[in-house]
């Protein structure tokens, strides 16, 4: 069957392609990879089959003559793209791993573009995907696909059509995506690369992610924590073959994995990333940073009235609640200085270092949720999320006034 990687010396680049019952699209991806400007002995392709029952293996065997190609297979136990990529990465021999989805038509410069972006090392590289968009109107039509990928890319570049849905963010940052508050949010494995040593040091894709979404940005987050620089490589471009995504049907998997991402990385930035789209994250974090400076000032104003006993099973949203009430079971506070004060002044209370937009707590956990007056410094979208989450985990919700006592009326 396929030529075994390593027979003619280790390649520099290993392309890992997870696939599931997309033999036709995979064939087109492999054809595009056979026409790279990188010499063929410098790269290999590993197809990582997530349990296909179609002609995937035959397609791989059909490319043994024009690609240095390998094939790995795992049993069909549901959507396990991350595990399939890990299986392919374990087989790979290149010092650079490129993760490419089946159904991507690679520019002839895709692999050389990724390789060039890794000069100096320590990079997590994001390639460009034309036609990648949740909006069907921005996807490439089947009529366009008769042209070679490079001709399509040249035409789309000139016309400005079928841009990668991340393009507005890239442009706003002057393509320096490492300036973004959370560049890992763009690490979507349709077309990305990373040094093999960095990938394995980070632990690869997390096997806990079974189903659509999340495993790629979670890996991106760990690469970010390891200090890798995130780099956009426009020259490492491809075109996505259009296919239907039922986003409504995929929503439960997205929500499950958003919660899993936050559980693994209990951090306010990660929390915000789970309640907004990627292109909204940077401006929303900027709004919250500005509001937090106001909050620190407001939170340290002591109310003039006597402190109030909140009663049993009470969650406090905002550390300044502790200046108005005696006790509480949980304090949700994202600002590090205020969280430290809460721990120091109320050693018996659990402090959750989040904004409170998504707490991961069960519905009705608390009898009462109190919201601190300083939280009104937040923008309206944030206040709405706080009130919604407080109403979900608490049977009663009250805003504390700026001074004196807990109001008798409930929201």
Q: What is the DSSP string of 284-322?
A: HHHHHHHHHHHHHHHHTPPPSS--B---SSEEEESGGGG
Position 24 pLDDT exceeds 80: yes
Domain end call among 265, 297, 316 = 265
Please check whether residues 224 and 108 belong to one and the same domain: yes
Please check whether residues 310 and 238 belong to one and the same domain: no
The band of 274, judged by pLDDT with boundaries at 50, 70 and 90, is very high
Cα–Cα nearest to 104, from 173, 71, 152: 152
Predicted confidence at residue 2, as pLDDT, reads: 46
Please check whether residues 341 and 251 belong to one and the same domain: no
CA distance 150 to 156: 10
Please check whether residues 245 and 379 belong to one and the same domain: no
Please check whether residues 258 and 295 belong to one and the same domain: no
Please check whether residues 162 and 258 belong to one and the same domain: yes
CATH number assigned to the domain comprising residue 222: 3.90.550.10
Position 224 pLDDT exceeds 50: yes
Buried/exposed code over 160-176 (b: 16+ C-beta within 10 A; e: otherwise): eebbbbbeebbeeeeee
Number of domains in the chain: 2
Please check whether residues 213 and 302 belong to one and the same domain: no
pLDDT tens-digit map of 49-93: 999 999 999 999 999 999 999 999 999 999 999 999 999 999 999
pTM > 0.85: yes or no: yes
Q: Which domain holds residue 290?
A: 281-399
Position 403 pLDDT exceeds 80: no
């Amino acid at each position: 069957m396929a030529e075994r990687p390593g027979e003619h010396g280790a390649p520099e680049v290993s392309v890992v392609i997870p696939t599931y019952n997309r033999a036709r699209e995979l064939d087109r991806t492999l054809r595009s990879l056979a026409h790279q400007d990188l010499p063929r002995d410098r790269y290999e392709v590993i197809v990582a089959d997530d349990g296909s029952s179609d002609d995937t293996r035959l397609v791989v065997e059909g490319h043994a003559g024009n690609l240095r190609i390998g094939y790995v297979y795992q049993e069909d136990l549901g959507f396990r793209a991350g595990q399939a990529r890990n299986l392919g990465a374990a087989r790979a021999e290149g010092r650079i791993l490129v993760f490419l989805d089946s159904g991507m038509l690679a520019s002839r410069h895709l692999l050389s573009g990724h390789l060039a972006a890794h000069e100096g090392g320590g990079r997590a590289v994001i390639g460009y995907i034309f036609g990648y968009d949740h909006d069907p109107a921005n996807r490439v039509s089947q009529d366009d696909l008769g042209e070679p990928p490079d001709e399509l890319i040249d035409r789309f570049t000139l016309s400005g059509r079928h841009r990668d849905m991340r393009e507005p963010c890239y442009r706003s940052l002057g393509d320096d995506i490492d300036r973004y508050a959370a560049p890992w949010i763009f690490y979507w494995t349709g077309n990305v690369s990373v040094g093999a040593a960095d990938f394995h040091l980070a632990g690869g894709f997390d096997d806990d992610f079974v189903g659509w979404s999340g495993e790629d940005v979670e890996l991106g987050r760990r690469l970010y924590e390891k200090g890798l620089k995130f780099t956009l490589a426009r020259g490492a471009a491809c075109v996505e073959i259009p296919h239907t995504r039922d986003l409504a049907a995929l929503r439960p998997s997205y929500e499950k994995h958003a919660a899993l991402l936050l559980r693994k990385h209990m951090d306010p930035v990660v929390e915000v990333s789970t309640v907004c789209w990627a292109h909204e994250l940077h401006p929303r974090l900027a709004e919250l940073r500005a509001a937090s400076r106001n909050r620190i000032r407001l939170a340290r104003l002591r109310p003039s009235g006597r402190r109030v006993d909140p009663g049993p099973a009470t969650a406090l949203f905002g550390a300044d609640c502790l200046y108005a009430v005696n006790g509480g079971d949980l304090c949700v506070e994202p600002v590090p200085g205020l969280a430290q004060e809460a721990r120091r002044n109320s050693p018996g209370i659990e402090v959750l270092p989040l904004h409170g937009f998504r707490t991961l707590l069960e519905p009705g956990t608390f009898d009462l949720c109190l919201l601190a007056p300083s939280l009104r410094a937040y923008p309206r979208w944030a206040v709405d999320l706080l009130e919604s989450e407080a109403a979900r985990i608490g049977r009663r919700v009250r805003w504390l006034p700026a001074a004196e006592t807990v109001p008798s009326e409930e929201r």
